[in-house]
Amino acid sequence: MFSKVRILISLVIIILLSLFFFIDSHREKITQAIISSEQLSRLDSIEFFTRPHERLSKLLTTENSRAWLHLAKLYAKQNADIAFEVAEYYLQQNNIISAQLWLKEAIRQQHKEARLTLANHYFKTKQYLESRNLLLPILDNDRALVLSYKLAIQLGDTEFISQNKTKLANIENRDFYQLLLDFSVFSAAKSNINQECHVSVQLFATNLAGLQHGKNLTEQFRQHKLARYVCLQSPKYVPSQELSCQTEIKQRITCRANVWATRADISSRYIGLIVEQGGANVDNGIMYIDQQDDADVLAHELSHFLGFVDEYPLPSQHQKCQRNQQTSFSYNLATLPERYYGERDKIRKRILMQLPWASLIKDTTPILIKHGKGWKLTTPLKFQHEVGVFSARSCDKNNKVQAYKPYAHRTQLEYFELNFPQTYIDIMALAPKQYLMPSYHFNISRDLALQGEYSRAREALKAITFQ
C-alpha cells in the first residue's frame, strides 16, 4: 500500500514538473514572440485563470512591444476588443493598410468603435460610400449619426438630412444640431442685411468643412479695411450636386448659376461660394473660393465686387486689355495711350479727366515726362510715395495696351498677402458704388440665355433692383 502511494506521489510530482516546464517554456515563447496559436490555446487551457488582457498587460509593462503585437494578433481572431487594440497600434504607427485589416476583423466580431473608426477614416479619405455603408447599421449611436450627417451634407443627401432631423435633435451633442441650424442645413431663411454696407455678400458652402471655413473667414475679414464696405452674411449650405461645379486644382472654379434662381433665402447683391478645391475668382455677381483660401484671398476677391481690378498680368484676351478705355471702369486701373504730343498742360488736363483718382493727384506731382518729341505717361519714381500714374502689370500679356494705377507699390490686388492701400479706399470714397459688379442675377440670366430660355433670362434681371 505504501509503495502505491509513493508511486502516485511520484507521478504527481512528475506531472507537476512537466506542467511547470511546459508553462515556463510557453511563457518564454510568448516573450520571444514565437508561440503558435495551438501552443497558446494549450497554455490557456492549463492557465485558465489567466486572462488574455493580463498576458498582454505584462508584456506592455516590460515594454516588449514585439511580443505584445505577436500575442495580440493571436488573441484578436476571437476577441474584438483586442483586434481593435491591434488596429489602434497600427494607426499610431501610421500603417493604414494593416490598421484597416484589423479594424475589419474587429467589425466582423461586432465591434462598434472599430466600425466608427473605419467609417471616419473612409470619410477623411473621401471614400464616402464605404463610410456610409459602415454607419447605416449603427445609426442609434450618436457619434455614428453625427458622422452620417457630415456625409449626407457632403453628398447632398437632402432626404437623409430631412428624415433624421428629429433623431439628431435628441442626441446629447446639441451643439452639432445647433451648428446645422445656424448653417441653414435644414431650411433656408433670409439673412438680415446691414444697410450701412456698400454691398452684401451671402456665403454658401457645399460641405461642413467649407461652412466652418466660411464662418472663420467671416470673423477674420472683420479686421480688414474693406469690412466697413462689404457685409458678409453667415454661410449657408447648398448641395454640391445642384451646382455642377468644375473644381480642378489650379483651374478657375466655375459652377452653374441658374440654380440660384430657385433660392428664396438670398437678400444680398452678391453670392460667395466655397468649394473643396479650385482657383479663386469673381465672375460678375458670384465669387468662388476654396477651403484652402485664407482671409487675404477672400479680401482680394471681394474687392472686385466693389470695383477694383487685378494688378497682376491678366489673360491676354481679358476684355479690359483689348483697347484703351473709352470711359473709366475701375477705381485702381486705367488703360490709356503711352505716348502723347502737344502742350503738356492740355494733355495733363485731358488725362486727368479719365482717372477716377485725379482729384488725389497733387498739382506738383508730374504724370508726363519728356520723351523724344512728345510725352510719355508716367509719374517719376521720385514721387512713388504720392498718388500718381504708375505702370501696372495688368495688361502685360497684350503689348498693345498699357494699364496704369495710382499707387507705385505692389498691393493686395497683385499679391494676396500684401497690404490693401488706404489710398484705394480714399479713391473709392470719391465715388461710392460707381464701379460695382452686376448682381448675381446677371449670372443667372446669362446661364438661362445660353440654354435658350430667353424669357426667363429677362425675368432674372428684373427680379431685384439694387440701389
Q: How many other β-carbons are positioned within 10 Å of the β-carbon of residue 278?
A: 23
C-alpha R_g of the chain: 35
In a domain, 25, yes or no: no
Q: Are the C-beta atoms of residues 214 and 289 closer than 8 Å to each other?
A: no
Q: Are the C-beta atoms of residues 280 and 290 closer than 8 Å to each other?
A: yes
What is the C-alpha to C-alpha distance for residues 6 and 10, in angstroms, rounded to an integer? 6
What is the C-alpha to C-alpha distance for residues 285 and 203, in angstroms, rounded to an integer? 12
Q: Are the C-beta atoms of residues 285 and 270 closer than 8 Å to each other?
A: yes
Q: Are the C-beta atoms of residues 356 and 431 closer than 8 Å to each other?
A: yes
User: Of 277, 306, 335, which residue constitutes the final position of a domain?
Assistant: 306
| Residue 363 CA to its chain's centroid (Å) | 48
Q: Are residues 47 and 84 in the same domain?
A: yes
- At 323, is the secondary structure helix, strand, or coil? coil
Q: Pairing state of beta strands 286-290 and 199-205?
A: unpaired
What is the C-alpha to C-alpha distance for residues 230 and 246, in angstroms, rounded to an integer? 27
In a domain, 11, yes or no: no
Q: What is the pLDDT of residues 431-467, one digit of tens each?
A: 989 999 999 999 999 999 999 998 888 888 876 554 4
Position 11 pLDDT exceeds 80: no
Q: Are residues 96 and 125 in the same domain?
A: yes
Residue 217: all three cell numbers together: 473667414
Q: What is the pLDDT of residues 246-283, one digit of tens each?
A: 988 889 999 999 899 988 899 999 999 999 999 999 99
What is the C-alpha to C-alpha distance for residues 207 and 110, in angstroms, rounded to an integer? 30
95/195: higher pLDDT = 95
Position 9 pLDDT exceeds 80: no
With helix as H, strand as E and coil as C, how does 331-384 read?
CCCEECCCEECCCHHHHHHHHHCCCCCHHHCCCCCCCEEEECCEEEECCCHHHC
Q: What is the pLDDT of residues 44-103, one digit of tens each?
A: 667 666 688 887 888 878 878 888 888 788 888 999 999 999 999 999 999 999 999 999
- At 391, is the secondary structure helix, strand, or coil? strand
Q: What is the pLDDT of residues 359-412, one digit of tens each?
A: 999 999 999 999 999 999 999 999 999 999 999 999 999 989 999 999 999 999
In a domain, 192, yes or no: no
In a domain, 68, yes or no: yes
Of the candidate ranges 57-66, 174-183, 285-294, 433-442, the one whose mean pLDDT is the lowest:
57-66
Q: Are residues 301 and 331 in the same domain?
A: no
Q: Are the C-beta atoms of residues 221 and 295 closer than 8 Å to each other?
A: yes
Q: What is the pLDDT of residues 103-138, one digit of tens each?
A: 999 999 999 999 999 999 999 999 999 999 999 999
Q: Are residues 222 and 178 in the same domain?
A: no
Amino acid at 28: E
Q: Pairing state of beta strands 390-392 and 270-275?
A: unpaired
What's the pLDDT score for residue 340?
Answer: 96
Residue 449: all three cell numbers together: 440665355
What's the pLDDT score for residue 122?
Answer: 97
In a domain, 27, yes or no: no
What's the pLDDT score for residue 57?
Answer: 84
Position 6 pLDDT exceeds 90: no
In a domain, 191, yes or no: no
DSSP one-letter code for 232:
E
31/288: higher pLDDT = 288
What's the pLDDT score for residue 19?
Answer: 53
User: Of 182, 208, 232, which residue constitutes the final position of a domain?
Assistant: 182
Q: Are residues 291 and 325 in the same domain?
A: no
Q: Are residues 36 and 161 in the same domain?
A: yes
Q: Are residues 108 and 77 in the same domain?
A: yes
What's the pLDDT score for residue 103?
Answer: 97
Tell me the average pLDDT across 325-338: 96
Q: What is the pLDDT of residues 141-169, one digit of tens each?
A: 999 999 999 999 999 999 999 999 999 99
Q: Are the C-beta atoms of residues 421 and 267 closer than 8 Å to each other?
A: no
What is the C-alpha to C-alpha distance for residues 225 and 437, in angstroms, rounded to an integer? 19
Q: Are residues 110 and 136 in the same domain?
A: yes
What's the pLDDT score for residue 358?
Answer: 97
pLDDT grade for 289, boundaries at 50, 70 and 90: very high
Among candidates 461, 414, 462, 422, which has minimal Cα distance to 229? 422
In the chain, how many H helices and how many E strands? 18, 11
CATH value at residue 144: 1.25.40.10
What is the C-alpha to C-alpha distance for residues 230 and 243, in angstroms, rounded to an integer? 25
What's the pLDDT score for residue 16?
Answer: 47
Q: Are residues 354 and 300 in the same domain?
A: no
Give the position of cell 457645399. 206
Q: Which of 2-6, 32-36, 221-225 has the highest mean pLDDT?
A: 221-225
**Number of domains making up the chain:** 3
Amino acid at 53: H
Q: Are residues 341 and 412 in the same domain?
A: yes
H or E stretch at 193: none
What is the C-alpha to C-alpha distance for residues 362 and 180, in angstroms, rounded to an integer? 54
Among candidates 99, 47, 106, 98, which has minimal Cα distance to 58? 47
Q: Are residues 96 and 176 in the same domain?
A: yes
What is the C-alpha to C-alpha distance for residues 425 and 408, in angstroms, rounded to an integer? 16
What's the pLDDT score for residue 90?
Answer: 95
What is the C-alpha to C-alpha distance for residues 464 and 264, in angstroms, rounded to an integer? 12
Residue 401: all three cell numbers together: 495696351
Among candidates 357, 369, 348, which has minimal Cα distance to 330? 357
Q: Which residues contact 73 (CB under 8 A, 6 or more apart)?
A: 86
Q: Are residues 395 and 357 in the same domain?
A: yes
In a domain, 314, yes or no: no
Sign for the CA dihedral angle at 302, 303, 308, 312 comes to: negative
Q: Are the C-beta atoms of residues 48 and 82 closer than 8 Å to each other?
A: no
- Domain containing residue 364: 319-430
User: Of 129, 156, 182, which residue constitutes the final position of a domain?
Assistant: 182
In a domain, 7, yes or no: no
